[in-house]
Amino acid sequence: CIKGKYHKASPGPELGKFGECKVYEKNSCCTPEFTVELAATRTEKLYNHTWDLCKNLSRACERFWIEQECFYQCDPYIYKYQHMSSAGAIHGVPICSSYCDSWFDACKNDQICVEDVLTGYEFNQHGINSCPVNSTCQTYASMFKNGEGLCNKMWNTSYTYSTDKSVCMEMTYKDPTA
């Protein structure tokens, strides 16, 4: 597992203990406590981070945000993409183009104020994120243009849009041993 705040040292089962991310219960890198808190407050108490600073996200768009959190925290296979200089970060994870395109379609009419959610927000003295003073809320369609723009830009260099189905990953867990 990668070395993040809510990651376990190594993957393993957590059957019947998860609040969110249930697709990872059989083999997970995240703690049950993380998934329970994600189900209750999204990332507001986990990171003092709010996803919908412009206006409430549509249910479909919010689902993709939750899947991304589950993927980053729980997926036992992304350790291969751990960032070399930042232990809790990932770099260049190839996300299937069809998944990126579906994420964009789900969120295209929702609004966001930064292109890069890892580095674009401002944070107050309590670590709570906010839109930068010079930013404006825009639709995802305006900000990212398409699924490729969303996957390549929204999470800094964490993800890349990939058309190579032999190597790309989706943020919906599929057990390769099943």
User: Mean pLDDT over residues 104-129, rounded?
Assistant: 94
pLDDT at 81 > cutoff 60:
yes
pLDDT of residue 178: 46
pLDDT in tens, 14-43: 888 898 999 999 999 999 999 998 888 777
In SS3 terms, the chain reads as CCCCCCEEEEEECCCCCCCCCHHHCCCEEECHHHHHHHHHHCCHHHHCCCCCCCCCCCHHHHHHHHHHHHHHHHCCCHHHHECCCCCCCECCEEEEHHHHHHHHHHHCCCEECCCCCCCCCEECCCCCEECCCCCCCEEHHHHHCCHHHHHHHCCCCCEEEECCCCCCECCCCCCCCC
Work out the mean pLDDT of the chain and round it to a whole number: 91
Per-domain residue ranges of the chain: 22-162
